[in-house]
Chains A and B, each alone.
Chain A
Amino acid sequence: MRAWLRVVRLLVQKEFLQIVRDRATLAQLLLIPFMQLLVLGNAATFTITRTRVVVMDHDRSAVSRALVDRLGAGGQFAVVAVTSSPAVAEQALRTRHAAMVVEVPPRLEARLRREGAAPVLLAVNAEEGAVAGLVSGYAQRIVADLARELAADAGARPARGTLAVSARRWYNPTRDYHHYMVPGIIVSLITIIATLVTAQNVARERELGTLEQLHVTPLTRAQFMAGKLLPGWLLGMALFVGAMALGRAVFGIPVRGNPLIVVAGAAVYLVVALGIGLLVSTVTRTQQQTMFVSFFILTLYLLMSGLFTPLESMPGWAQGVAAATPVRHFVWVMRAVLVRGAGGAEVWGTIAGLGVAGAAVLSLAVWRHHKGAG
């Protein structure tokens, strides 16, 4: 056993020397994750602040002026223009000068007095994702609040009671998007880097023909795989711990649960992620092919594992695919422990599941490697 480990250690040492000697790669491995974390950690999410609004006012009454004031007062919107020209409003929407046009129809105030109800049209630029829903939601709330006040001014008293709705956000009451983004970005970065380095490494040896040379040595397949897996694993762990420390220091991400659980989770998760990288390198012939297949898998991780988009809204089959990616489970563990303060009892099952998946993927990679090398 000791001799076995010694061989693995020497192999790992050789891999490390190869990476450290290549100054360009070394610089990339250290710079890319930390610089991206610092910059992208600030990438805001769906928050609405001072979104530009154009008011198309055909009424020019006290009510329409009150509406303009209200829109600007909450901080969510900034009224950039009040116009009566539909062409100007349309152009503003089309050129993205405004995210919404609020249209006050002619004789709004008069209609309110005579008929008791009058429409306010909200034309939202729906080109930009979920923002449109939020913009329209906020605007509707502002209009409803104004309507309630008008009703109160008019002295109308509701005959029956009603609901007074308030809301509390748990786990992230300040709505700090860093808490949500930074763990996601950390997982993305260590996954991208560790998977690429591992997959490319074997593909390169195959392309250069040095894989053949290794095969004529007394090295066993398991030793070979361990030697190829460990450097990436150590690199991934180092990046993970460094990125977590940076995330804590710079962005103040919370650590409400036990951080050791997260580190243990990362240790297991990286075995799966890197095992998949090794598997890719056993089914491709050239470095170029390896890169494109890796790109495909990494995009799958980024877009379908709930890192940046909600999982619940994906169709059933896509949720099934997401459940098969290790990223989905590890991100869940991270968010549960860091943000929600979950304990070992709540997450150990998931970590154990990742462990089983890791063993399966590695066995498959060792087996495939044999076939590919044969």
Chain B
Amino acid sequence: MTGAPGGRPGWRAFAGFVRKEGYHILRDWQTLLVLLGLPLLQVLLFGFAIRSDVRQVPLAFVEPVPDAATAAVRARFAAATGTFRVVGVVRRPEALDGAFRSGAVRVAVVLPEGLARRLGRGEAAPVQLLVDGADPNTGGIMEAYARAVLERHAAELRAPAPGRVPALVPVPRMRFNPTLASVNLFVPGLIAFVLTIVSALMTAVTIAREKETGTMELLLASPLRPWQVVAGKVAPYLGLGFANVLLVLTAARLVFGVPVRGSLVLLLALSLLYTLTALAMGIVISSRAATQRTAMLAALAGLMLPTLLLSGFIFPLEAMPLPLRAVSNLIPARWFILIVRGIMLKGAGVAELWQEMLVLVALTGVLLTVGVRRLAVRLG
């Protein structure tokens, strides 16, 4: 459909229109640089920065009377460098109030008086963990880590017991991401987040701008049909969005070493589909927005937080209450993240991902139909 003579009337004009829109984007190199560079920069920056693992937790000991046994516990935590950073030893828990409130101490291990004596007598000596639970996520993880250190110590204290003590030894294995590298977890989510917002924002604002400045009327006076006007506006951005996909995936592979265990062709094809999904969201927004301000508020203020929080990017969907999980089904990024993680980390193919793919196709179809139709009606 490159405007071959003899085609349906309108196709030539359409091709010309697409070309004109393409020139528009290419000519404003400053904006083009922003559109191509920004997603890449974001994925690089945040890919390096965000971690959900808990490290360097400031930890203090409460020891009324230090002895050999408490020193052994302290040595345990001192050896767990990386996870914990021992910041102090106090006599009474009250001494930690200020430090806890300011966040200077987040976990305290309260050891009982005469620990060595009690252990010698064969007692089970109470050890209490005080955990800053203001942030329940980190709180839970910090507690689990500190408990693990103490339990390991406790197990060693028990070990030299005579006789056969049956022991079940749990051997955990982290599948698909053995080192739990945060990069592998976040980069797919980042790709989805950045692609969604950039693509939706681009389309919404471009169309709203034509409406605001009144040039949309001029386009309508041309022989192009309303849907052709919309398609022509969006087509160059599909190319731009796909260029973003290529840049960002290359960075994920080369810079972060995120594996692509599945089919690269499938990944690219579905990324192209998702770019279209995000552009369709932009069309829907612009069909309602009369000004760039409204379009921008809807695209940024309306989409950023839901895409971040309801897509499984940061918080697992399984842990959400049922109504919210239902809402999350409508967030396209949710499905795209599953697809990207599936293909890149798990080597999944069509056999495993067909449901996600179908949902994405359906969502795109609905968004495109609603957006284009409403826009066409408004314009017509």
Once bound together, how far apart are the Cα atoms of A93 and B143, in whole Å?
27
- B7 interfacial contact with A, CB 8 Å: no
Once bound together, how far apart are the Cα atoms of A113 and B341, in whole Å?
42
Residue from the list A131, A160, A312 in contact with B316, Cβ < 8 A: A131
Distance in Å: Cβ of B323 to nearest Cβ of chain A: 8
B127 touches A164 (CB 8 A): yes
Q: Which of A34-42, A260-268, A272-280 contacts B (4 or more CB under 8 A)?
A: A34-42
Specify which chain A residues have a CB less than 8 angstroms from the CB of B134 in the assembled complex. 170-172, 179-180, 335, 339-340
Distance in Å: Cβ of A274 to nearest Cβ of chain B: 15
B50 touches A298 (CB 8 A): no
A45 touches B315 (CB 8 A): yes
Residue from the list A169, A173, A200 in contact with B143, Cβ < 8 A: A169
- A304 interfacial contact with B, CB 8 Å: yes
- A245 interfacial contact with B, CB 8 Å: no
Once bound together, how far apart are the Cα atoms of A40 and B331, in whole Å?
13
Specify which chain A residues have a CB less than 8 angstroms from the CB of B318 in the assembled complex. 51, 99, 128, 131
- B51 interfacial contact with A, CB 8 Å: yes
Contact code string A125-151 (vs B, CB < 8 Å = 1, else 0): 111111111101101110110110011
A163 touches B180 (CB 8 A): no
- A361 interfacial contact with B, CB 8 Å: no
With contacts A126-B174, A169-B143 known, is A175 near B305, CB below 8 A?
Answer: no
B137 touches A180 (CB 8 A): yes
Once bound together, how far apart are the Cα atoms of A247 and B380, in whole Å?
44
25 chain-A/chain-B pairs, Cβ below 8 angstroms: A24-B291, A28-B298, A39-B327, A117-B167, A119-B169, A120-B168, A124-B175, A125-B176, A132-B174, A136-B172, A144-B170, A154-B166, A158-B158, A163-B150, A167-B129, A167-B131, A168-B131, A175-B136, A179-B136, A180-B135, A180-B136, A193-B297, A292-B201, A298-B304, A299-B42
Residue from the list A137, A175, A310 in contact with B133, Cβ < 8 A: A175
- Chain A residue at minimum C-beta to C-beta distance from B295: A291
Of the listed residues A28, A67, A289, A313, the one surrounded by the most CB atoms of chain B closer than 10 A to its CB is: A313
Q: Which of A169-219 contact B (CB under 8 A)?
A: 169-173, 175-177, 179-180, 185, 188-189, 192-193, 196-197, 200, 204
A313 touches B315 (CB 8 A): no
A44 touches B321 (CB 8 A): yes
A171 touches B133 (CB 8 A): yes
- Chain B residue at minimum C-beta to C-beta distance from A31: B302
A175 touches B297 (CB 8 A): no
Specify which chain A residues have a CB less than 8 angstroms from the CB of B158 in the assembled complex. 158, 160, 162
- A249 interfacial contact with B, CB 8 Å: no
B50 touches A309 (CB 8 A): yes
Interface on B for A, CB 8 Å cutoff? 30-31, 34-35, 38, 41-42, 45-46, 48-58, 73, 98, 100-103, 118-141, 143-144, 146-148, 150-151, 153-154, 157-158, 160-178, 180, 185-186, 193-194, 197-198, 201, 205-206, 209, 288-294, 296-298, 300-302, 304-306, 308-310, 312, 314-316, 318-321, 323-324, 327, 338, 341, 345-346, 348, 352
- A318 interfacial contact with B, CB 8 Å: yes
Once bound together, how far apart are the Cα atoms of A29 and B294, in whole Å?
10
Once bound together, how far apart are the Cα atoms of A128 and B334, in whole Å?
12
Distance in Å: Cβ of B282 to nearest Cβ of chain A: 12
Q: Is the interface of B mostly helix, strand, loop or mixed?
A: helix
Once bound together, how far apart are the Cα atoms of A144 and B154, in whole Å?
12
A163 touches B153 (CB 8 A): yes
- A295 interfacial contact with B, CB 8 Å: yes
A40 touches B301 (CB 8 A): no
A289 touches B34 (CB 8 A): yes
- Chain B residue at minimum C-beta to C-beta distance from A138: B144
Residue from the list A47, A140, A163 in contact with B127, Cβ < 8 A: A163
Once bound together, how far apart are the Cα atoms of A157 and B148, in whole Å?
22
Specify which chain A residues have a CB less than 8 angstroms from the CB of B296 in the assembled complex. 196, 200, 287, 291
With contacts A163-B125, A164-B124, A314-B49 known, is A130 near B141, CB below 8 A?
Answer: yes
With contacts A144-B170, A165-B154 known, is A159 near B122, CB below 8 A?
Answer: yes
Specify which chain B residues have a CB less than 8 angstroms from the CB of A129 in the assembled complex. 52, 185-186, 314, 316
Of the listed residues A126, A163, A287, the one surrounded by the most CB atoms of chain B closer than 10 A to its CB is: A163
- A17 interfacial contact with B, CB 8 Å: no
- A156 interfacial contact with B, CB 8 Å: yes
A161 touches B123 (CB 8 A): yes
Once bound together, how far apart are the Cα atoms of A170 and B134, in whole Å?
7
Distance in Å: Cβ of B186 to nearest Cβ of chain A: 8
Known: A163-B127, A169-B132, A169-B133; 14 extra A-B contacts, CB below 8 A, are: A25-B297, A28-B301, A29-B297, A44-B320, A123-B173, A159-B160, A164-B125, A193-B297, A286-B31, A296-B38, A303-B46, A310-B138, A312-B55, A346-B98
